[in-house]
């Protein structure tokens, strides 16, 4: 089947009513959960529900309500508008899209590590070759369990990278599916009449704004950064637009939501790895995580390349 693009005028019209209903549900459910989190102490002082492991009300609401709001909105919109259960993007289509499953599994980790390197090129004094922060964590674990790992902190750091890149897509699958089933499996196809480049940018902006309540409560950037509390939420849009382009490209080419689910789990599992390799306080607006401008530079450049590549964003 040949490539079909919105510019050729072959895609259906924009379904405005369904879009409005979906977004109302997605924002309404998530932001209501965010309000409860804020009124009960925010992310920092949320009531503890389980002492060990440390699970707070905020963690539960984020994992079960906030992050799953897009998926629930997808289902509710289909039910309310009698759309039915076709085109759910749940068929794996491995024969067609295996390469994009592979890209989803490893590309986020590669981009994150490249971004970490970029950050330390600009701030070499912050790189800690002894991985002191990680060693302190290992020492605390040893004092608690009475067992010392027979490897150095440097080796353990490499083990964490491999583990994050190999296992994170599986371990985080359930946690991230709620967002991907909403944004990529429902919103993205609905916006495709605008053309893939415009659709993916709009999704990224919507996705970023959807995060704003928790970012205002310290998620991602904390509180004590330059331009707080306004710069963080705006800067996060750069990250979400970039990653929406990357994830959207995978879904378009594979014809399935699963590569983006895998990629989302992958980047969530490795995004903070650079913090173990540094000394001092990080400037999260810059890096080393991909939510910063330097840490996210490889991701941003790839997103720009995909956005400008007409063939890459064609619908197969």
Distances in Å between the Cα of 117 and the Cα atoms of 31, 120, 153, 212, 297 are: 35, 5, 18, 28, 10
pTM higher than 0.85, yes or no? yes
The pLDDT assigned to 11 comes to 52
Residues in the chain with pLDDT < 50?
Answer: 1-10
Q: Where along the chain do its domains lie?
A: 87-308
Give me the residues paired with residue 55 across strands.
50
The pLDDT assigned to 7 comes to 41
Give me the residues paired with residue 84 across strands.
none
Helix (H) or strand (E) holding 48: strand 48-50
The pLDDT assigned to 110 comes to 98
Q: State yes or no: cis peptide before 124, omega within 30 of 0.
A: no
- Length of the chain equals 316
Task: State how far the Cα of 73 lies from the Cα of 249, in Å rounded to an integer.
Answer: 23
pLDDT tens for residues 32-51?
Answer: 999 999 999 999 999 999 98
Give me the residues paired with residue 4 across strands.
315
Closest-CA residue to 120 (of 313, 276, 305): 276
Task: Judge whether 71 and 178 are in contact, CB under 8 Å.
Answer: yes
- With left for phi above 0 and alpha for psi between -120 and 50, is residue 164 left, alpha or beta? alpha
Task: Judge whether 306 and 312 are in contact, CB under 8 Å.
Answer: yes
Q: What is the CA radius of gyration of the chain?
A: 20
Quickly list H helices, the chain: 16-39, 57-61, 69-80, 94-122, 132-145, 153-171, 173-182, 188-191, 196-210, 212-216, 231-254, 258-270, 297-308
The pLDDT assigned to 3 comes to 39
Distances in Å between the Cα of 251 and the Cα atoms of 86, 184, 186, 224, 309 are: 16, 7, 11, 37, 16
Task: State how far the Cα of 234 lies from the Cα of 217, in Å rounded to an integer.
Answer: 14
Task: State how far the Cα of 82 lies from the Cα of 207, in Å rounded to an integer.
Answer: 25
Provide the CB-side half-sphere exposure for 279 (13 A, CA). Answer: 10
Q: Residue 296 phi/psi, 5° resolution?
A: -95, 5
**230-239 — which CB contacts under 8 Å span 24+ positions?**
231/285, 232/285, 233/208, 233/209, 235/285, 235/291, 235/292, 235/293, 236/208, 236/211, 236/212, 236/291, 237/204, 237/205, 237/208, 237/209, 238/293, 238/296, 238/300, 239/208, 239/290, 239/291, 239/296, 239/299
The pLDDT assigned to 243 comes to 98
Helix (H) or strand (E) holding 55: strand 55-56
């Amino acid at each position: 089947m040949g490539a079909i693009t919105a510019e050729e005028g072959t895609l259906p019209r924009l379904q405005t009513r369904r879009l409005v209903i979906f977004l109302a549900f997605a924002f309404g459910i998530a932001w209501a959960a965010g309000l409860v989190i804020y009124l009960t102490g925010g992310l920092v002082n949320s009531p503890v529900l389980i002492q060990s492991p440390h699970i707070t009300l905020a963690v539960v609401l984020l994992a079960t309500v906030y992050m799953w709001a897009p998926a629930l909105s997808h289902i509710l919109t289909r039910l309310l508008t009698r759309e039915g259960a076709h085109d759910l993007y749940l068929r794996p289509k491995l024969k067609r899209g295996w390469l994009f499953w592979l890209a989803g599994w490893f590309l986020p980790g590669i981009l994150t590590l490249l971004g970490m390197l970029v950050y330390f090129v600009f701030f070499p004094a912050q790189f800690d070759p002894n991985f002191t922060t990680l060693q302190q964590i290992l020492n605390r674990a040893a004092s608690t369990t009475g067992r010392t790992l027979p490897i150095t902190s440097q080796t353990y750091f490499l083990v964490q990278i491999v583990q994050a890149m190999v296992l994170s897509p599986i371990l985080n699958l359930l946690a991230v599916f709620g967002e991907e089933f909403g944004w990529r499996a429902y919103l993205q196809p609905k916006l495709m009449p605008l053309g893939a480049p415009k659709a993916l940018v709009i999704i990224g902006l919507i996705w970023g704004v959807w995060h704003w309540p928790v970012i205002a409560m310290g998620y991602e950037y904390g509180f004590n950064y330059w331009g707080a509390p306004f710069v963080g939420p705006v800067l996060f849009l750069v990250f979400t637009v970039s990653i929406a382009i990357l994830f959207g490209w995978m879904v378009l080419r594979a014809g399935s939501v699963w590569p983006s689910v895998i990629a989302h789990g992958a980047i969530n599992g490795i995004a903070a790895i650079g913090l173990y390799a540094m000394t001092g306080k990080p400037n999260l607006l810059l890096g080393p995580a991909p939510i910063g401008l330097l840490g996210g530079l490889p991701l941003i450049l790839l997103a720009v390349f995909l956005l400008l590549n007409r063939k890459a964003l064609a619908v197969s």
